[in-house]
Amino acid sequence: MAVRVLLADDQPLIRAALAMVIADLPGMEVAGEAGTGQDAVRMTRELHPDVVVMDLRMPGMDGIEATRLITEDGGPAHGPDRNPARVLVLTTFDDDDNVYNALRAGASGFLVKDMAVSDILGAIRVVAAGDALIAPKVTRRLIEEFTTRPRRAAAPKREIGGITGREREALTLIGQGLSNTEISEAMTISAATVKSYVTRLLAKLDARDRAQLVIAAYEYGLVTPGGGPK
C-alpha cells in the first residue's frame, strides 16, 4: 500500500515541488494539499493520510496547534478506529523558534527546508514506518539551538524515576543526538542491547518515539548547555 502524504504549507511553490517529486515515486502518493493549519486538520480528518508534512508558520492556526490536533488521541483530526497521522515538520530551522514546541505537540520529527529532496522523501518513509526522524546531525543542531537559549537552560527540570542507571546513560546519549551505533560504541554494548534500552525507555517514559526521548533528556536535566551530559 502506498504511503499517503498530506502537504501542509502556505507556499504553493513548495507544495507543488514536493507533489511533483512524490507523484513520480513508487509506493508514495499525495493525498492532498493544505495552505493553512485549519485546512491541514480538516483534510487529515477527511483524507486519513499516513504522514502530514507540516510547515510551522502558516496564517491562522499555526503548524504547532495543527500538529497537536492531528496527533492527540481522540482529537478531531481523525475518526474512530483510526490511528492519528504522523506529522513531520518542515521548517527553516535556523530562524524558527518553534521546533521544540512542535515536537512537544506530537510531531515525529522535523525537516529543514534546505535539505536535499532525497532526504525529505527518505524522512517521509521513515516516519510512515513508525519511527521518528531524529537524524544525528540535525539533532545536534537542535540541541545546540535549545541549550544556548537562556530560557531553555533556566527551565525547571522534571524528576526522573523508574529507569536503571544504564537506561539513564542511554537516555543521556540519545539527548546528545547519538545514533544507536554511536551509543553502542560509547556504552560498549551491542546494537541489539541499545535497541532494547530504547524500547524500554519509550515504554517507561510513555514516549511516542525517539523525538520525545530527546525532549525528555532535556526536561530531566540530563543534557546541559552545549549538549554535554549533566
Residue 193 lies in a domain: yes
Q: Kindly state whether residues 122 and 210 are assigned to the same domain.
A: no
Residue 224 lies in a domain: no
Neighbouring C-beta atoms of residue 75, cutoff 10 Å: 15
Q: Kindly state whether residues 90 and 165 are assigned to the same domain.
A: no
Residue 67 lies in a domain: yes
What's 224's DSSP letter?
Answer: -
Residue 230 lies in a domain: no
Partners of residue 89 on adjacent β-strands: 54, 110
φ, ψ dihedrals at 206, nearest 5°: 50, 45
Digit-by-digit pLDDT tens for the chain (230 residues) are 899 999 999 999 999 999 999 998 999 999 999 999 999 999 999 999 999 999 988 988 999 999 999 988 544 444 445 567 999 988 775 545 566 777 778 888 777 788 888 888 988 988 887 776 655 555 555 555 555 554 444 444 556 778 999 999 999 998 887 878 889 999 999 989 998 999 999 889 988 777 778 878 887 888 764 445 55
Q: Kindly state whether residues 13 and 69 are assigned to the same domain.
A: yes
Neighbouring C-beta atoms of residue 163, cutoff 10 Å: 17
Q: Give the model's pLDDT for residue 33.
A: 97
For residue 167, what is the domain's CATH number? Answer: 1.10.10.10
3-state helix, strand, coil in the chain (%, to 5): 50, 15, 40
What is the full DSSP assignment across 122-150? HHHHHHHTT--B--HHHHHHHHHHHHTSH
Q: Kindly state whether residues 121 and 42 are assigned to the same domain.
A: yes
Q: What pTM was computed for the model?
A: 0.68
Q: Which residues contact 162 (CB under 8 A, 6 or more apart)?
A: 204
Q: Kindly state whether residues 77 and 113 are assigned to the same domain.
A: yes
Residues 100 and 93: beta-carbon distance below 8 Å: no
Q: Kindly state whether residues 115 and 200 are assigned to the same domain.
A: no
Number of domains in the chain: 2
- Tell me the residue range of the domain where 95 lies: 3-133
Q: Kindly state whether residues 42 and 102 are assigned to the same domain.
A: yes
Q: Kindly state whether residues 49 and 125 are assigned to the same domain.
A: yes
